[in-house]
A and B are shown apart, each in its own frame.
Chain A
Amino acid sequence: MAPVDGAMIHDITGPLAIRNFFEMGGTKVFDPRKVILLFDHQVPADSIAAAENQVFMREFADHQGIHNYDIREGICHQVVMERGLAAPGEIIVGADSHTCMYGAAGTFATGIGSTDMGFVLKFGALYFRVPDTTRLEVSGKFPWRVGPKDLILSLLRDIGADGATYQAVEFTGETFSSMDMNGRMTCCNMAVEMGAKAGMVPPDDITYNYLKGRRDMPRMALESDPDAEFRDERTYDVSDLSPQVALPHNVDLAVDVDEVVGTALDQVFIGSCTNGRFEDLAEVAEVLGTGTFNEATRVIIIPASRDEYLKALRAGLIEKFVTAGALVEAPCCGPCMGGAFGILAPGEVSLSTSNRNFRGRQGSTEASVYLCSPATAAASAMHGEITDPREV
C-alpha cells in the first residue's frame, strides 16, 4: 500500500467511486483538499441520468468539503495540470485512464477504476505493484509540421497496444528535453495506449517554469539512476518522421499520412486532453491560414479547458475557426467518448486529434475513426479528406 498525494474523480467514474466509498463504510474522505472533483464527459448534462449523477456528486462535494470545479473548468487532466495540482515526485491517482498525462510534470500518475477510487477516498492509499521501466530515448528535431502527436503515434506502432503493459515509460532524449509542456502532455497522455501504468518525462527547467505561479515547491532531482535496469530500452530519431495517422480500430495502427491521403471525411474533431490546448489550436490556425474548412465535413473544435479557451479567444483563434466554418464548443471531452454529442452514424468516417479510435468509440460500431495531429486534422478539414499538412 502506498499513500497518494491526490485523487481525481469526474462525472463518469465519480458516482460509482462515491457509492463504493460508502459501501466500504466510508464517512469522511481521507483529505478533502486532496480530492479533485469536476465534470467534463457529459457537460452540460446531456440526459436526465447524467444530470442526476452530477447532482449526486455536487452534494457529495458539499458534504465532504471538497472543492467542486463542476462544469466550469474543462477536461480533468488539463485542469489538474494548469492548476498545479500535479508536481514532481508526487503520486496521483485518477478514475480515468489518461491520468498518466501528469507524468509531463514528473508526477507518478496512473488511472484506476471506481472501486480502487472508493478505497482511496476512504484510506488515502492504494495497493500498487511496483512497475518495471521502459526507457524510450528520442533524438532529432521535428521536421516542419510534424510534432509530438506524430511521435507518440509512431512509438505506439513500434511498441504495440500492449507492449508496455504494467510498466512505467520514461520519455527521454534531446527531443523530449527540448519539447514544450504541451507536447510532453500529449505523449504522456497516450502512454496508457501502450498499456503503461505511467508515462513520465524527467522534470527540468521547462517543467519548473510551467509550475511557476501554479505551484511553489523546491526543485528535486528526479531521473533514473545511472545504473538503473530497464525492461526495455529503445532509441528513435524524429528527423525524418512523417505525419502519422492511426487507422481504425486500434491506436497502434499508425501509418505515414501518404498511405491514407484522399480518405473522405464526414467529421473532424480537434480537441481532447491529448490535443486541445492553445498550442494545438494555434497550430490548426497556422495551417488554416486564410482558408476555410470544407463544407462537406463537419469540423468540431473544443478547447481543453476554460484557460485554453480564453487564450485562443484573446488570440483571435476562435473567431478564425468559426469564420472558417467550424463548430467551436465549450471545454469538455466532446466526441472523444461518443457519449455526449458529435456521435457518428454507421458508415461515417471521422478524423480526430484525440487518443482512441476503438470500434464504436465515437458512436456507431460501424463508423471509422482515424487519429492524427492538430496540423494533419486542420489540413484534412480544409480539404474534406485526409491531407498531408506539409502540402497545404
Chain B
Amino acid sequence: MRTWRFGDNIDTDAIIPGRYLVHYDPKVLASHAFEGTRADFAKGAQEGDMIVAGKNFGCGSSREHAPIALRGAGITVIIAESFARIFYRNAVNVGLLPLVCPEAGLIPDGAVITVDLGKHVIEWEGQRLAIEPVPEFLREIIHSGGLVAYARDKKEVKTCTGSRR
C-alpha cells in the first residue's frame, strides 16, 4: 500500500496508449499502464496502492480504458491538485476515488496514506492535508462500486431541465 507520484498534465495517452484501446480486460490494460513513460508502474503496483499527482491529471481523450487500467493495476485512490473533467467522471464511474488536494505536491513518492472522507483530510507519517469534500451523489456512486452497480436496479431516473428559450 504505497503511493505512486506523478507530475502535472498526465494525459490519458500516457496512462494507456491508443494502440491498446481494443482491449477491455482491466488486467490486460493494467499490464500496459504508463508504458513508455513509467516502466516500474505496471509491474510494481499492488491492490490498494494510490496515485499522487499535480494538476490536470487525466487530461485528453475520453477513453475510460485509462481509469480501468489503473483500477486493474490495483489503484483505489488518486490524489491530485486537480483533475481533467472527463477523467474525474470516468474514475468515479468505475469505482476509483479521485480526491482533489491543492497541496498534493507535498506528498512524497512511496508515502503510505490514510484517507478520512468524513473529516476531508488525508494523513501520512503524522502529516495531514485537507482535501476538497466529495459530493454526496458521487460518494453514493463510489460506494455502490461504480455507476454500473448504481444504475443496475434503476428503471428510470428523474430529470430536470432549465428553461429553454
Chain A contacts to B: CB under 8 angstroms: 1-3, 12-13, 15-16, 19-20, 23-25, 41-42, 47, 49-50, 53, 89, 95-97, 99, 111-116, 118-119, 122-123, 125, 127, 161-162, 165-166, 192, 195, 197, 220-222, 250, 337-339, 343, 356, 358-361, 364-366
Q: Is the CB of A113 within 8 A of B64?
A: yes
**In the complex the two chains form, is A116's CB within 8 Å of B90's CB?**
yes
Asked if A115 and B59 make an inter-chain contact with CB atoms under 8 angstroms apart, the answer reads no
Contacts of A197 in B (CB 8 A): 85
Are A165 and B82 closer than 8 Å at their CB atoms?
yes
Residue interface mask B68-103, A partner, CB < 8 A = 1: 000000000000001111100110011000000000
- Given A165-B56, A165-B85, A359-B37; A12-B63 close (CB under 8 Å): yes
Q: Is the interface of A mostly helix, strand, loop or mixed?
A: loop
Give the CA-CA distance A360 to B165 in the complex, in Å: 44
Contacts of B83 in A (CB 8 A): 165
Q: Which of B63, B158, B165 contacts A222 (CB 8 A)?
A: B165
Q: How far is the CA of A383 from the CA of B47 in the complex (A)?
A: 52
CB distance from B105 to the nearest CB of A (A): 15
Can you identify 23 A-B contacts, CB atoms within 8 angstroms?
A1-B160, A3-B161, A13-B62, A41-B21, A89-B164, A112-B86, A113-B64, A114-B64, A115-B146, A115-B147, A118-B148, A122-B151, A162-B55, A162-B59, A192-B86, A195-B56, A220-B165, A222-B165, A339-B19, A356-B61, A358-B14, A360-B17, A365-B37
Shortest CB-to-CB span from A122 to chain B, Å, is 7
Asked if A112 and B151 make an inter-chain contact with CB atoms under 8 angstroms apart, the answer reads: no
User: With the chains together, A365 CA to B13 CA distance in Å?
Assistant: 10
Question: In this complex, what residue of A is CB-closest to B36?
Answer: A365
Closest B residue to A361 using CB positions:
B13
Q: Are A23 and B22 in contact (CB under 8 A)?
A: no
Q: Taking each of B9, B18, B151, B164, which has the highest tally of chain A beta carbons within 10 Å of its own beta carbon?
A: B18
Residues of the A chain whose Cβ atoms lie less than 8 Å from the Cβ of B84: 162, 165, 195
B147 touches A360 (CB 8 A): no
Pair B86/A23 contact, Cβ less than 8 Å = no
Contact yes or no, B9 A162, CB < 8 A: yes
Question: Do A49 and B86 form a contact, CB below 8 Å, given A114-B64, A118-B148, A339-B18?
Answer: no
Q: Determine if B24 and A161 form an interchain contact, defined as CB atoms under 8 angstroms apart.
A: no
B157 within 8 A of A: yes
B62 and A95: CB pair below 8 A? yes
Question: Which of A19, A50, A358 is the one whose CB lies under 8 Å from B60?
Answer: A358
Select B56's contact among A3, A13, A16, A162, beta carbons within 8 Å: A162
Q: A53-B22, A195-B56 are in contact. List 19 more A-B contacts (CB 8 A).
A: A12-B63, A13-B62, A47-B22, A89-B165, A97-B60, A97-B62, A113-B63, A113-B89, A115-B90, A115-B147, A162-B56, A162-B84, A221-B165, A339-B18, A343-B19, A356-B13, A359-B36, A360-B36, A360-B37
Of A12, A111, A337, A358, the most chain B CB neighbours within 10 A belong to A358
Bound CA span A15–B160, Å: 29
Q: Which residues of A contact B37 (CB under 8 A)?
A: 359-360, 365
CA distance A119 to B94 in the complex (A): 12
What is the bound-complex CA distance between A358 and B161, given in angstroms?
37
Give the Cβ gap from B9 to chain A, nearest Cβ, in Å: 6
Binding site for A on B (CB under 8 A): 9, 11, 13-14, 17-19, 21-24, 35-37, 55-56, 59-65, 67, 82-86, 89-90, 93-94, 137, 146-148, 151-154, 156-161, 164-165
Smallest CB gap from B84: residue in A = A195
Q: Once the chains bind, are A115 and B93 in contact (CB under 8 Å)?
A: yes
Q: Is the CB of B157 within 8 A of A125?
A: yes
Q: Which residue of A lies closest to B92 (CB)?
A: A115
8 smallest beta-carbon distances between A and B, as pairs: A365-B36, A113-B90, A162-B56, A49-B22, A115-B93, A339-B18, A113-B64, A24-B151
Considering the complex, give the chain A residue whose CB is closest to the CB of B54: A162
Query: Contact between B59 and A19 (Cβ–Cβ < 8 Å)?
Result: no
Q: Which residues of B contact A358 (CB under 8 A)?
A: 11, 13-14, 60
Most buried by B among A13, A115, A122: A115
> A176 CA to B84 CA in the complex, in Å?
27
**Which chain A residues border B89 with CB–CB below 8 Å?**
112-113, 116
Q: How far, in angstroms, from A222 to B89 measured CA to CA in the complex? A: 28
Q: From B146, which residue of chain A is reached at the shortest CB distance? A: A115
For A113, what are the chain B residues with a Cβ–Cβ distance below 8 Å? 62-64, 67, 86, 89-90, 93
Is the Cβ of A50 less than 8 Å from the Cβ of B56?
no
Residues of B within 8 A of A119 (CB): 147, 151
Q: Which of A95, A97, A125, A222 has the most CB of B within 10 A?
A: A97
The answer to whether B22 touches A42 (Cβ under 8 A) is: yes
Q: How far is the CB of A231 from chain B (nearest CB, A)?
A: 14
Considering the chains assembled together, what is the distance between the CA atoms of A49 and B24 in angstroms? Answer: 11
Task: Given A116-B90, A116-B93, answer yes or no on A25-B151 (Cβ-Cβ < 8 Å).
Answer: yes
Task: Choose among A20, A123, A337 the residue that contacts B157 (Cβ–Cβ < 8 A).
Answer: A123
Of B13, B18, B56, B158, the residue contacting A359 (CB under 8 A) is B13
